[in-house]
Structure 1
Amino acid sequence: MWGRLSAGALLGLPLAVFAVGTLVYAWPGRWQDGMVPGMLAIVPAWLAIVAASPLFRSAVRAWVVLALATLAAFAALSAARLLGA
């Protein structure tokens, strides 16, 4: 259980930041206008990831899935920036 919770806590924060950042950056209009709502949305997103992390079957699966999700969110944010969204 502690391995799954630590995966959610450690990998959940960058996943929440990247996911919310991608939404804020891809939102229509200036990205600066969505910064405050985006920063406020990071904490509930992170808490949701941490709360859902014990649902994984094992700690290894939690680390792998959350690491891949974090990498995918980082790739989506980078793609949004490169494409000029």
Structure 2
Amino acid sequence: MWGKSTAAVFLGLPLSVLAVGFAALLSSDQATTTLPWLLLFFVVWIAVMTCTFLFKTGLRAWLWMSGLTVAGYAALHFLKASGLIRIAA
């Protein structure tokens, strides 16, 4: 139980930021859709932390969530560095 709880606490936030960030960046009109996505952040964060307890063991929770977080941030970095995603000013 401690493994799942610590995975939820330490990896839930960055994974939620990644999910909401991708949704906001991939929207067609970032100026009008960013605020609603940010308002949904808390709901996404709670959902991610809740889904952590669906894993069979704490080790699996840590491995899957850390793998998703690293892969997601690597993909985000690649998309921004290649110019495929831009932040609207």
TM range (shorter): 0.7 to 0.9
**Offset at residue 33 of structure 1 (A):** 2.9
Give the total of aligned pairs: 84
Q: Which has the higher helix share?
A: 1
Question: Residue 47 of structure 2 aligns with which residue?
Answer: 48
Q: Which runs of 5+ in 1 are unaligned?
A: none
**Is it true that 1:61 corresponds to 2:37 in the alignment?**
no
The root-mean-square deviation of aligned C-alpha atoms, in Å, is 1.5
- Displacement over 6 Å in runs of 4+: none
**Offset at residue 80 of structure 1 (A):** 3.0
**Is it true that 1:18 corresponds to 2:50 in the alignment?**
no
**Is it true that 1:9 corresponds to 2:13 in the alignment?**
no
Q: Distance in 1 between matches of 2:7 and 2:79?
A: 26
In structure 1, what residue type is equivalent to 2:68? A
Whether the 8 Å CA contact 1:24–1:38 is kept in 2: the answer is yes
Percent identity of paired positions between Structure 1 and Structure 2? 32
In the superposition, the TM-score normalised over structure 1's length comes to: 0.84
**Offset at residue 65 of structure 1 (A):** 0.5
What CA deviation, in whole Å up to 9, does each residue of 1:22-65 have, x standing for no partner?
11111113x34332112112111111111111111111111111
**Offset at residue 72 of structure 1 (A):** 1.7
